[in-house]
Chain A
Amino acid sequence: VSHRHPKSQPNSLSSDVACGQPALHGK
C-alpha cells in the first residue's frame, strides 16, 4: 500500500490517498 499521498487534494473524495496522482507517469 502506498503511503506517499497526503490528504491535501481539494478534489479528492477519498479519505486516505490523493486522487489523480499515478505513481507512474507516461512519457
Chain B
Amino acid sequence: LLGGELTIDRKWPWQVSIHYAGFHVCGGSILNAYWVLTAAHCFAREKRLQTFDMYVGITNLEVANKHTQWFEINQVIIHPTFEMFHPVGGDVALVQSKSAIVFSDYVLPICLPSSNLNLSDLSCWTTGWGMVSPQGETGKDLLEAQLPLIPKFQCQLLYGLTSYLLPEMLCAGDIKNMKNVCEGDSGSPLVCKVNQTWLQIGIVSWGRGCAQPLYPGVFANVSYFLNWIRYNMETIPDPPQLTPFVSSSLRATVSSFVTIMGSLLVL
C-alpha cells in the first residue's frame, strides 16, 4: 500500500496472506471457516497448488504468534469470465482451505454486501502487505489506508479509452494524499462500514502503476459476483477431514507388538 499506515492486531481480523513458495504474493479475506475470497490473477500463472499456503491472524509476516493459523489449499475456483472480456476482468477467486479456520478475536469473517448496496458516502478502507513504494520496497507489516470511492465515469476519464472499465469494476484511491494499492495488495479486501458492520465491497485487482495519482486502484466489485460466490460456497462440500485411523489388521499387529514388549519388560 502506498501511503498506508501501520495497523494493529484484531482491527482487520478477516485479512489473509496468501503465500507462494514461502513468499507473500497476494491478500485475501475470510468468508467462512473454509473459504477465502481473493483475486483470480493471484493464481493465473500455472503454478502448483501445493506450493501455495495461507496465513490468518497475522500482521507482521516475519512473526507468527499464538493467534496465527496456517492453511494448505484444497482447491481454487476461478471465476468463469476471468480474462474473458478484459485483461483483468472477472478477477475473483474462491480458495478452499484444507482444514477449518478457527475463529477468535484475531480471526473473523468479513460480511458480503447486499446486491443493491448504495455505495455513496461510505467510509472505505483497504489493507495489505503490498509494495510501499513504486521502487518495489515491501514491508512485513500489514498496512491500512482509507480510500474514497471514485465515481465510475470519473475513473474511466482518468484511465482513458485504452484501459476500459467493466461494470463489474469499481475504483478507489486518495489522489490528494497519494494513497493507493500496489503490487502485492492484489486479492486484499476493500471494506466499508455500514451500520456498525464491515462489508467487503471490493477485491484489489489492478491499476496503472501505484504512484501516479491520476490512476486510482481498480477493484473487482464484490456485489457483481455475489451469486457466483454464494453458489460455490453453498454447493461445494467441505474438504474431507483426516481422522486418526487404524485398520483392524494393523490394530492386531500393534496389539501383538505391545503385548510382546510388555512381556519383555516383565521378564
Chain A residues packing against B (C-beta within 8 Å) = 1-2, 5, 9, 11-17, 19-26
Indicate if B33 sits at the interface (CB-CB under 8 A): yes
Cβ of B10 and Cβ of A19 under 8 Å apart?
A: no
Q: Is the interface of A mostly helix, strand, loop or mixed?
A: loop
Which residues of A sit under 8 angstroms from B13, Cβ to Cβ? 22-23
Q: Are A13 and B10 also in contact (CB < 8 A) when A20-B197, A21-B197 are? A: no
Q: Are A19 and B110 also in contact (CB < 8 A) when A1-B104, A9-B197 are? A: yes
A24-B8 Cα distance, complex, nearest whole Å: 9
Indicate if B47 sits at the interface (CB-CB under 8 A): no
Cβ of B112 and Cβ of A24 under 8 Å apart?
A: no
A2-B106 Cα distance, complex, nearest whole Å: 9
Instruction: Tell me how far the C-beta of B114 lies from the nearest C-beta in chain A, rounded to whole angstroms.
Output: 7
Which residues of B sit under 8 angstroms from A19, Cβ to Cβ? 14, 108-112, 197
- Chain A residue with the shortest CB-CB distance to B195: A20
Cβ of B105 and Cβ of A2 under 8 Å apart?
A: yes
Chain B residues packing against A (C-beta within 8 Å) = 7-14, 31-33, 35, 102-105, 108-114, 144, 191, 196-199, 230, 233
Instruction: Tell me how far the C-beta of B183 lies from the nearest C-beta in chain A, rounded to whole angstroms.
Output: 25
Q: Are A9 and B198 also in contact (CB < 8 A) when A14-B31, A14-B103, A23-B10 are? A: no
Instruction: Tell me how far the C-beta of B68 lies from the nearest C-beta in chain A, rounded to whole angstroms.
Output: 15
Cβ of B32 and Cβ of A26 under 8 Å apart?
A: no
In the complex, besides A19-B112, A20-B197, 16 extra interface pairs with C-beta distance below 8 angstroms are A2-B105, A11-B111, A11-B113, A11-B197, A13-B233, A14-B32, A14-B109, A15-B32, A16-B33, A17-B108, A21-B108, A22-B12, A23-B108, A24-B105, A25-B11, A26-B11
Cβ of B110 and Cβ of A20 under 8 Å apart?
A: yes
Q: Are A1 and B198 also in contact (CB < 8 A) when A14-B33, A17-B109 are? A: no
Instruction: Tell me how far the C-beta of B238 lies from the nearest C-beta in chain A, rounded to whole angstroms.
Output: 11
